[in-house]
Structure 1
Amino acid sequence: ELLDTILAEGGSVLVFTQYVTMARLIERHLQARGISSQLLHGGTPVPRREELVDRFQAGEVPVFLLSLKAAGTGLNLTRAGHVIHFDRWWNPAVEEQATD
């Protein structure tokens, strides 16, 4: 429901999850709905990671799925107007760092 509203307004969003498996499930769900997304996790090679960031920043993909640990390592995603934490992390400071 949140994504429907955000995307209807032309917005972009970061969706954080602590589980890569959950991110893949969300990715498949979005694909089935015709919503363009991409996924970054800890196993993403650096060149691919840079490509994903560039695509998001350029507005090519409105939904960026990120594992919470991989995303908390120095990404600067200024295009994101919204942040969703799909599942909560046990340490709120980790979520805050990812959101910032």
Structure 2
Amino acid sequence: MSMTDLLSAEDIKKAIGAFAAVDSFDHKKFFQMVGLKKKSADDLKKVFHILDKDKSGFIEEDELGFILKSFSADARDLSVKETKTLMAAGDKDGDGKIGAEEFSTLVSES
């Protein structure tokens, strides 16, 4: 399964373009632009599993750095600052990783 099975390719392209500059990434705006906010809990779980590259059941910090590439192969990597900001926003229990429930909360807060 790919992101375009769940989200509009056009929405993804616009969102990736909006955050092309380094240190411009805003997860709240990004999630809204790609259409994640309108998705069901089941669809959010599917997106979570795409982002969980190593299939550990969590999105770790190294996976977060490549989050944009999960939406579009030609997207940039997040900067260290952007990655740490996103982890801080999503890691509600402080264990250094984002679980499926934390991801759903992160998207819904956007």
TM class, shorter-length:
0.3 to 0.5
Specify which structure has the higher proportion of helix. 2
